[in-house]
Amino acid sequence: MNVLILGADGYLGWPTALHFKARNHNVTVADNYLKRRMERSIGVTPLILPELLEVRAKQFDNMPCHIFDLSKEEGFKTLCNILEQDRINTIVHYAEQPSAPFSMRSRSAAIETQVNNIAGTLNLMFAVKKVNPDIHIIKLGTMGEYGTPNIDIEEGWLDITHKGREDKVLFPKRPGSFYHLSKVHDSHNLEFTCRIWGLRVTDHNQGIVYGVGTEEGPYDSDNRTSFHYDETFGTVLNRFIVQSLLGIPITVYGTGGQQRGFLDIRDTMKCVQIAAEVPAAPGEFKVRNQYTQKYCVMHIADCVVKAIGGKIEEVPNPRVEAEQHYYSPVNDSFILDGLTPHFLTAGLIQEMADAISPFLDRVRLQSIDPKTKWVL
Ligand code: USQ
């Protein structure tokens, strides 16, 4: 395959590039460093901050690398050129602002998130249509698109019977932030272009990813990926491990009954590989739910305490979200196509703790406490 990874500077992007390279595919990487700029704008830095993508790409086999903004007019032209020149046939699209709290900070942050994410994906769809509609787009969506409905969550589509008539519709979405909403809008736009232009798209509704090491980028190598712990870009397990190591309270928001889907970063790599090897057909909008375990937040906190110690504190929930709810998403698609999950264990939590311990003196305590409230 000739694979283009959009958003390759990020937590998942670089490991994905290495994963495809290791399987002898041609890989081109791209990014616009938006996340690095956003981090600087709010005064946070990840605990592990890899080199710039250009530097890593050069060092690694001189991988073709392009720095451009996909959401802009120029970005559309640049993307068309890359698709033509590198004869791309598979695109993995991670190039989006990934943080729910960032999107809820302010009006301008909500707009920046949605414009970047939605306009970028629109440019991608138009570029694929123009250059080669047969290119397979693998798009990173999120489990949070669905919210927490009181019925089982299917993989993207729902068969319904209404007043005696039957149809198949996109699963109703009720997400919990402007960020998650941006991915809902993307999903609708993508499904529309599959239907209208015959594009082929796989939309991955991914849960919360944990882990710092992959097969090609072990946590103790220069190819390890980034690690965020701050209240904006840090996800729940990462944050709890850092809090435990620092001996400060583990901040469970509310009662901690919120349930979410989780997966190991190594399983993300495998899922994207499977999606590329079993592509959507022309005109197909294929949706796969990409998580391997579901836990409530309090359970994650308990696992951390049991593995490496710490003290749990139930803090007032800064978000508007259900803390007690039904949660039963289907996740057959990747398992049936060969995914063997790595489950969360005390050993893995210990491994993550070992990986980040050397960097603990970089922690900025003021960026840990939850400050971003959903109701401004
Ligand atoms: N939470 C706490 N304490 C904390 C941090 C978070 O209790 O210190 C809770 C939150 O209230 C929430 C849950 O943990 O109920 C998950 O929060 P999170 O910040 O780990 O994850 P989330 O905001 O949902 O977003 C993350 C990624 C996003 C991805 C999404 C997958 O940042 O890019 O799309 O996970 S999912 O959650 O399935 O939508």
What would the 3-class secondary structure string for 253-311 be?
ECCCCCEEEEEEHHHHHHHHHHHHHCCCCCCCEEEEEECCEEEEHHHHHHHHHHHHCCC
> Is 295 considered catalytic here?
no
pLDDT band at 115, cuts 50/70/90? very high
> Among residues 16, 78, 142, 268, which one is catalytic?
142
Query: Whole-angstrom Cα distance, residue 327 to residue 61?
Result: 44
Positive or negative torsion for Cα 133, 185, 204, 284:
negative
- pLDDT tier at 256, thresholds 50, 70, 90: very high
The residue nearest atom 39 of ligand 1, judged by CA position, is 144
pLDDT at position 114 is: 98
Region 347-352: mean pLDDT is 96
The CA 148 to ligand 1 mean position distance, Å, reads 13
Helix axes 297-308, 236-246, angle to 10 degrees: 40
Average pLDDT over residues 82-88: 98
Instruction: Please report the atom of ligand 1 found closest to the CA of residue 238.
Output: 20
Binding-site residues, ligand 1, Cβ < 6 A: 98-100, 142-144, 180, 207-208, 235-236, 239, 251-253, 258, 260-261, 297, 319, 321
Q: Which is nearest to 199 in space by CA: 121, 133, 297, 113? A: 133
> What's residue 376's pLDDT?
77
310, 350 contact by CB (below 8 A): no
311 is catalytic: no
| Burial (0-12, 13-18, 19+ Cβ within 10 Å), 25 | middle
pLDDT confidence of residue 164: 98
Protein residue with least CA distance to atom 33, ligand 1: 98
What is the distance in A from the centroid of ligand 1 to the CA of 141? 14
CA of 365 to the centre of ligand 1 (A): 20
Q: What is the SS3 string spanning 220-242?
A: CCCCCCCECCCCCCCCHHHHHHH
Average pLDDT on 201-219 reads 94
Alpha carbon separation from 68 to 7, 27, 74, 176 (Å, rounded): 10, 17, 8, 30
Q: Do 91 and 4 contact (CB within 8 A), yes or no?
A: yes
How does residue 291 score in pLDDT terms, banded at 50, 70 and 90?
Answer: very high
Mean pLDDT for 156-174 is 98
Residues 266-278 have a mean pLDDT of 98
Q: What is the pLDDT of residue 23?
A: 97
Q: How confident is the model at residue 159 (pLDDT cuts 50, 70, 90)?
A: very high
Instruction: Tell me the average pLDDT across 165-179.
Output: 98
CA of 99, closest atom in ligand 1: 32
Mean pLDDT over the full length of the chain: 97
The CA-based dihedral angle spanning residues 320, 325, 328, 331, taken in that order and rounded to the nearest 10 degrees: 20
pLDDT at 17 over 80: yes
Residue pair 64/29 in contact by the 8 Å Cβ criterion = yes
Catalytic pick among 35, 139, 173, 183: 183
Measure the CA–CA gap between 202 and 206, rounded to whole angstroms.
12
Residue 275 binned pLDDT confidence (cut-offs 50, 70, 90): very high
Distance between CA atoms of residues 374 and 364, nearest Å: 23
Nearest atom, ligand 1, residue 291 CA: 38
Residue 154: pLDDT band with limits 50, 70, 90: very high
pLDDT band at 223 (very low <50, low <70, confident <90, very high): confident
Enter the tokens of residue 215.
Answer: 């097969």
What separation in Å is there between the alpha carbon of 88 and the centre of ligand 1?
A: 33
Q: Is 183 marked active-site?
A: yes
CA of 138 to the centre of ligand 1 (A): 22
Handedness of CA 295, 297, 299, 300 (dihedral sign): positive
For ligand 1, atom 22, the nearest C-alpha belongs to: 100
pLDDT at 221: 85
Percent of the chain residues topping a pLDDT of 70: 100
Our mutation pick for probing the ligand 1 site, out of 236, 258, 271, counting the most ligand atoms within 8 A of Cβ, is 236
- Which atom of ligand 1 has the smallest separation from the CA of 317? 11
CA of 21 to the centre of ligand 1 (A): 30
The answer on pLDDT for 81 being more than 80 is: yes
The answer to which of 160-169, 208-217, 330-339 has the lowest mean pLDDT is: 208-217
Q: What is the pTM of this model?
A: 0.97
DSSP H or E stretch at residue 138: strand 136-142
SS3 call for 6 = strand
Give residue 279's pLDDT: 98
On the CB side of 202, CA atoms within 13 Å amount to 24
Q: What is the rounded average pLDDT of the residues 204-221?
A: 92
Burial of 238 per CB tally in 10 Å (0-12, 13-18, 19+): buried
Averaged pLDDT, 184-191: 98
The stretch 43-61 carries a mean pLDDT of: 94
The whole-number pLDDT of residue 369 equals 95
β-strands 165-170, 157-162 pairing: antiparallel
Q: State mean pLDDT over 109-130.
A: 98
